[in-house]
Structures are given as C-alpha cells and as structure tokens.
Amino acid sequence: MKRILVVGGGTGGTIVANVLARKLSRKEAEIIVVNDSSKHIYQPAFIYTALGYNLKERDIAREEKELLNKNVKLIIDNAVGIDVENRYVALERTGKLDYDYLVIATGSRIVPEEVPGYQIAYHFYSLEEARRLSKVLEEFTGGVIAVGIGGIPYKCPPAPAEFCCLLDYYFTRKKMRDKVEIHYLSPLPRTFPHEAVAEAITEMMEKKNIYWHPMFNIESVDPEKKIVYSLEGESLKFDLLVMVPPHRGAKVVEESGLGVDSGWIPVDKHTLQYKEYSEVYVIGDATNLPVSKSGAAAHFEAKVVGKRIYADITGQKSKLVYDGRVVCFCDAGFRKAIYMDFNYENPPKKPRFSYLWYLGKKMVNKLYWSLILGGTI
C-alpha cells in the first residue's frame, strides 16, 4: 500500500485528494491531507464580504472534513518541515510522516508588513480584513479611494480591477457615486497582464470614470499625510487606501529551503514534479509557474497530478500533463462579467462583458463546494 501525503487542504489539496480517493481503494493507497485549520475558506467570497453582500456562512467556509472523500484521512496540524531527501514531512504535534508520494499545496501567505506604512491601508485578502474593510466602506462619506498592489505575484490578478468596478457599482447603488473618486494603481503599463483583456478592462474603467495609473508599483505609504508613493516616482493622495498585500510562499516551504524568489517552488511546468524528485508534486499558488495564482489553475493542476499518481500506482505510464490552463470570471458590477479561458500557448482573446458570464460566476461560486472540490468537473 502506498502512502500519498498532501500538505495543504485548500483548493488544490482537497481536489487532488478527492480525485485519488475515488480512483484508488483503501488497499492500494492511504491518502492523508494535512491542513493547519479545520476550516476550508472560499477566498473569492472575500471581495463580496468587503462590499457588504449578505453571504451565508456556508458560502464562505465549511469544515474541511465534510469536503473530503471518506477514504481520505485529515490531520489538522501545522507542517513545520518538508524533507524531500529523506521523504518525510514534520508536523508540529503529530511528529514525522513519511510518504511514497508527496503533493505540496500550501498556497501563499500575505506579508503586508513588507510595505512601509501599510498599517493605514485596508485589504480583502483575508476574511477578517474583508470584514474590517466592509465597515469602513459603509461609513465612507466621500473622497478618493486608491486601489493598489503591494507586490507581484498576488492571488487572482483581476481582483483589484474587479474590486474597482464593484466599488463603482456599490457607490452607484448608494446614490453617492459623484462623491467618490476611484483610482486604480496598476503595476503594469496597462490594466491587466494580457493585452487583449487589458483593452476590455480599460474601456470598462473609462466608461465608469475610474482613473487608472499605469506603472504604479507601490513603494511606501505615508500614513500621516495619506499619500501612496510608487517606485517610479509618482504619488497619490487618498482618503481610503485599499492595497493587495505582497505575497510569499508558505513559511514551511521557505524554511525547508524549497522555494526560490519569495518562496515559490520551482516545478516542471507540464509534469508539476519538483526537480529530480519524481514522487514530489507541487500545485496551486505554491508553485513558481508562469500562470495566475488562482483556484482555477490549482483545480486543473490537481486533476493532472491526481491522474498521474493514480497511473503510477497502478503501473501505467501517464502522459497527461498540465497545459497551463486557467479560466477566470471577473465581475464588473451591474450584473455584467467577463470570462477568460487560456493556457501556456493560447493567450486570452478580448472578452465581452455580458450577463451570461455574471451568471457563470455565480454558478462557479455554488459548484465550488461540490463538483469542483469533489474533483468531478
């Protein structure tokens, strides 16, 4: 019997464990997921939380146990060391766990403290902070709202642009749009990494009177003067600053010496294997792959890895590889959204804003908890 150890029970870790548990019997494999919390949080719900949508608790978080196939063992513990040489993972309370196959799905962490003056800013990259931001927005009486990015890469590249469009919708519904100036500080020369998508987002922003600033890579904030400064020498005075915090790989990845740059694990872009360790796979935000840090990428990667490990255990040679696929819905408010579907070879085309994609986004939010996490779609 083989032991498959999955570290991280977020989007990618849950899907890979469920795919494997459906394919392999208990006699063939012991599948273990280690997660540092008993709760599974749906991060896309944070934006809606910040904007005061009345979400049910079950739309935001559920017990991880209820999301896993009954053949998966869940250990709630903190992984403190990953030793790929000696094939074990050290857990804070449980001790060492060895493995035949390891899937690292530890996601990313946010490090707001890396931007001087960040304490005055708000964000929607944790549930707690999204709730804090929702209170401030509720009490906001007017002025300049700057929405910026504290470092690249960060989770869900369209999220800050989407947030600007939804702010426009939020204040329009409150009948005070004329009292609010929305500024989007883009770290790129355009509004989105892909040119065709940027074209659509720019048009939308201009239609909505959202001011956007190209090449505004945030360097620091002066909390007293309420001014945000860019590395390029620009500055903007604000009344409310919303800033995506800088991201890094998980602590355990950095401390185990597996990460490069800000703690992202170098991985083969097709097989998702780590260096020469063919039994070690890495998926989702934890990788240094040239794809968006997104649940969609984690989802497609998890399915590939699940099938590859299954093939290996059952003596087949899997040729299945990850092609870099990402799909993404971006809500523009007023019941309109865009949809993108792209991969390593095929960049996205210019998307159209439509009600259909808005419904698509709502459907994904629902299907996440069942068919997506279950690994059936």
Contact residues: ligand FAD, CB under 6 A: 7-13, 34-37, 43-44, 46-47, 78-79, 105-107, 124-125, 155-156, 159, 250, 252, 284-286, 293-296, 298, 328
Of residues 160, 152, 171, 170, the one with CA closest to residue 124: 160
Of residues 215, 210, 238, 214, the one with CA closest to residue 117: 238
Write down the least CB distance from residue 232 to ligand FAD, Å: 26
Report the chain's terminal Cα–Cα distance, integer Å.
28
3-state secondary structure of 61: strand
Identify which of residues 226 and 309 has a Cβ nearer to ligand FAD in the complex: 309
Report the residue closest to ligand FAD, judged by CB.
10
Write down the least CB distance from residue 339 to ligand FAD, Å: 11
Write down the least CB distance from residue 111 to ligand FAD, Å: 14
DSSP string, 313-335: HTT----------EEEEEEEETT
Angle at 214 between CA 211 and CA 217, to 5 degrees: 115
Write down the least CB distance from residue 237 to ligand FAD, Å: 26
Identify which of residues 293 and 308 has a Cβ nearer to ligand FAD in the complex: 293
Identify which of residues 13 and 148 has a Cβ nearer to ligand FAD in the complex: 13
Distance between CA atoms of residues 33 and 55, nearest Å: 28
DSSP string, 247-273: EEE-HHHHHTT--BTTTBBP--TTT-E
3-state secondary structure of 228: strand
Identify which of residues 47 and 197 has a Cβ nearer to ligand FAD in the complex: 47
Write down the least CB distance from residue 366 to ligand FAD, Å: 13
Q: What's the DSSP call for residue 347?
A: P
Write down the least CB distance from residue 327 to ligand FAD, Å: 8
φ, ψ dihedrals at 178, nearest 5°: -70, -15
CA atoms 97, 251, 310, 313: torsion sign: negative
- Asked if 64 contacts 35 with a C-beta cutoff of 8 angstroms, the reply is yes
Distance between CA atoms of residues 258 and 160, nearest Å: 29
Residues near 281 by Cβ (< 8 Å), separated by ≥ 6?
101, 102, 103, 104, 267, 272, 273, 274, 305, 308, 309
Write down the least CB distance from residue 131 to ligand FAD, Å: 13
The residue whose two tokens read 């250990």 is: 75
Angle (deg, nearest 10), helices 195-207 and 159-173: 20
- Asked if 105 contacts 97 with a C-beta cutoff of 8 angstroms, the reply is no
Identify which of residues 159 and 267 has a Cβ nearer to ligand FAD in the complex: 159
Identify which of residues 163 and 229 has a Cβ nearer to ligand FAD in the complex: 163
Identify which of residues 44 and 229 has a Cβ nearer to ligand FAD in the complex: 44
Write down the least CB distance from residue 89 to ligand FAD, Å: 9
Write down the least CB distance from residue 27 to ligand FAD, Å: 27
Identify which of residues 34 and 304 has a Cβ nearer to ligand FAD in the complex: 34
Identify which of residues 168 and 301 has a Cβ nearer to ligand FAD in the complex: 301
